[in-house]
Amino acid sequence: MIIGGSASQALAAEVARELDDKLCSVETRKFPDGERYFRIKDEIPEDEPVIVIQSTGYPQDENMMELFFILDILGDMNVTDITLVSPYLGYSRQERRFKEVECISAKAIAKLIQTMGVKRVISINLHEQSICDLYDIPVDNLSAMPAIAAYIRENYSDKKPVILAPDKGAENFAKEIARILNTDYDYLEKVRLSPEKVKTKTKSITVDNRSVIIVDDIISTGGTIVNAIDILKRQGAKAVDVVCVHPVLVNDAILKINAAGANSVTGTNTLKSEVAHISVAKTIANHLKSL
């Protein structure tokens, strides 16, 4: 039985189709004051394994609260075999203490999820692998890169683009896609030219007259990508496209990226977005089948 929270209902339906599993019928709405309501309309036998699919991106608190409502109902139904698939797991950026006595939000979320009876968590490209260590239950951190690589292969005319990470932290994403597509990859690095001057440039290859696809896990404000596009254009890239796993896209991020000169911006459907054209349903379904 698959239950889709309101942040991930379309994705849940796709995963159910891939697995040939039943998609639970639910009722979800908001009260006039903004509070959420959730009802499970199907019978679920106590011994039935249940997969709850709910991303917890914006509005994070509401989606998180709705997730806890779903888990609470399952507890009331005495369902014990619960797997949570949260393709975008909110509050993951505060996974450690940067200043004294800060709340490690990702740890607080982990505690709540476990307290509410979840036996396994599955997510996609967690902000940091170390988030898995905040849980006492198995956490599977899946990669969306094979799905992104397949999308690039099918939709981009240049079959040998440079796959570029906007910083060292995203290098592994670029590397994984480039390996699948058998093409080049690189990342942008900051080089200090003098005590006052820093230059950002591609680490090892030249992008002059080449098509470049920038890849990152998250695009939030778009600042990182706009900066990368500026540098690539100055270095003579003939075309720049952008792909990401989680299209958070705060405010006018897409406009800013387009204005910087990107041909396209595409993300996966870990979050609902107008640019979410790459589905992670197969990635999730294949992993669930393998368990």
Instruction: Choose one: 23-31, 97-105, 210-218, 262-270; the region binding ligand R5P (CB under 6 A).
Output: 210-218
| Min dist. Cβ of residue 256 to ligand R5P (A) | 9
User: In terms of Cα–Cα distance, which of 250, 239, 251, 248 is closest to 214?
Assistant: 239
Asked if 217 is part of the footprint of ligand R5P (rule: CB under 6 A), the reply reads yes
Asked if 221 is part of the footprint of ligand R5P (rule: CB under 6 A), the reply reads yes
Task: For residue 192, give the H/E element and its range.
Answer: strand 185-192
Asked if 222 is part of the footprint of ligand R5P (rule: CB under 6 A), the reply reads yes
8/92 with CB nearer ligand R5P:
92
| Min dist. Cβ of residue 129 to ligand R5P (A) | 13
Active site residue 175: no
In the structure encoding, which two tokens stand for residue 159, read together?
A: 């079959």
DSSP 23: B
In the structure encoding, which two tokens stand for residue 27, read together?
A: 């009722």
E-state strands within 77-138 = 82-85, 118-124
Asked if 224 is part of the footprint of ligand R5P (rule: CB under 6 A), the reply reads yes
| Min dist. Cβ of residue 285 to ligand R5P (A) | 26
Asked if 141 is part of the footprint of ligand R5P (rule: CB under 6 A), the reply reads no
Question: Whole-angstrom Cα distance, residue 252 to residue 217?
Answer: 18
Among 40, 219, 229, 265, which residue sits at the site for ligand R5P (rule: CB under 6 A)? 219
* Catalytic site residue from 111, 159, 168, 190: 190
CA angle in degrees (0–180, nearest 5) for 146-151-152:
95
User: In terms of Cα–Cα distance, which of 291, 219, 222, 289 is closest to 261?
Assistant: 222
Residues annotated catalytic, as ranges: 190
Which residues of this protein are in contact with ligand R5P, per CB under 6 A? 169-170, 216-224
